[in-house]
């Protein structure tokens, strides 16, 4: 996997040009809409930090930490952060399956375009780590590919179908409700975007408590 990103780090952001040009319908915008001010955010497997930068530019009060294992992707990310002059992002080389952060330290944890390319054992470790460092009422926000039914989008999506590893074909067939429940996480909301969906997960125990107390989703109104 690291070799793939060594070769493609310089071209990785082409994905946004190909698939997410319509910003209003892009998962980048959907993620941004889910963030409120003053939050501590972790962008796990940040890659070239596109999500982290987008959020840091607009929500200037948030603090964002991005971690990734690939030096090549992190190099591109660091150059982008410097060029944008952003002070509220820090980037670290770290394994998402073995994080050096304290329990319950982040309000939101992002995992964007990652799970489908890893084997099940590794995704399990990453989700357990994300749950450990998530604050009790926090959210894990997943972005994943969602093949379109429209012919033109299907054709444009062919390169992803061909280039992604076998784990991708297994992942898109999964019953995601059941899959995330295995890790004590409950799907709270889903937003369908161009080529992708953005899934908001909460800790099952916290969600049960909130429903028992007649709680409501304070972000609901912002999520259209």
Where along the sequence are the contacts to ligand SAM (CB under 6 A)?
1, 5, 45-47, 50-51, 67-70, 73, 95-97, 112-114, 118
Q: Which is nearer to ligand SAM, 137 or 174 (CB)?
A: 174
Q: Which is nearer to ligand SAM, 68 or 207 (CB)?
A: 68
Q: Which is nearer to ligand SAM, 45 or 200 (CB)?
A: 45
Of 44, 77, 78, 41, nearest in space to 59 by CA: 41
| Least distance in angstroms from the C-beta of 163 to ligand SAM | 11
Separation between Cα atoms, residue 17 and residue 96, nearest integer Å: 27
Q: In the numeric block, which tokens belong to residue 210?
A: 């909130």
Separation between Cα atoms, residue 128 and residue 77, nearest integer Å: 26
When CB distances to ligand SAM are compared, the closest residue is 47
Q: Which is nearer to ligand SAM, 26 or 207 (CB)?
A: 26
| Least distance in angstroms from the C-beta of 221 to ligand SAM | 26
Q: Which is nearer to ligand SAM, 5 or 207 (CB)?
A: 5
CB contact at 8 A, 143 and 198: yes
| Least distance in angstroms from the C-beta of 98 to ligand SAM | 8
- Neighbour count for residue 69 (Cβ, 10 Å): 15
Separation between Cα atoms, residue 27 and residue 154, nearest integer Å: 17
> Which residues have CB under 8 Å from 203's CB, separation 6+?
131, 134, 136, 138, 184, 185, 186
| Least distance in angstroms from the C-beta of 65 to ligand SAM | 12
| Least distance in angstroms from the C-beta of 79 to ligand SAM | 15
Using DSSP's 3-state secondary structure scheme, residue 105 falls into: coil
């Amino acid at each position: 996997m690291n070799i793939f990103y060594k070769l493609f780090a310089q071209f990785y952001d082409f994905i946004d040009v190909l698939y997410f040009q319509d910003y209003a319908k892009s998962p980048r915008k959907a993620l941004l809409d889910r963030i409120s001010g003053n939050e501590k955010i972790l962008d796990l497997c940040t890659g070239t930090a596109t999500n982290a930068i987008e959020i840091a530019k607009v929500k200037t009060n948030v603090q964002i930490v991005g971690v990734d294992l690939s030096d090549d992707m992190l190099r591109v990310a660091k150059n982008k952060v410097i060029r944008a002059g952003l002070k509220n992002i820090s980037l670290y080389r770290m394994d998402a399956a073995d994080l050096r952060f304290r329990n319950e330290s982040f309000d939101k944890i992002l995992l964007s375009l990652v799970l489908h390319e890893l084997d099940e054992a590794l995704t399990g470790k990453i989700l357990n780590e994300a749950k450990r460092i998530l604050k009790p009422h926090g959210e894990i926000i997943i972005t994943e590919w969602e093949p379109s039914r429209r012919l033109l989008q299907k054709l444009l999506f062919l390169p992803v179908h061909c280039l992604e590893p076998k784990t991708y074909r297994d992942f898109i067939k999964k019953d995601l409700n059941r899959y995330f429940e295995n890790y004590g996480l409950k799907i709270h909301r889903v937003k369908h975007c161009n080529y992708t969906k953005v899934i908001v997960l909460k800790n099952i125990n916290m969600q049960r408590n909130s429903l028992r107390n007649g709680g409501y989703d304070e972000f609901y109104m912002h999520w259209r």
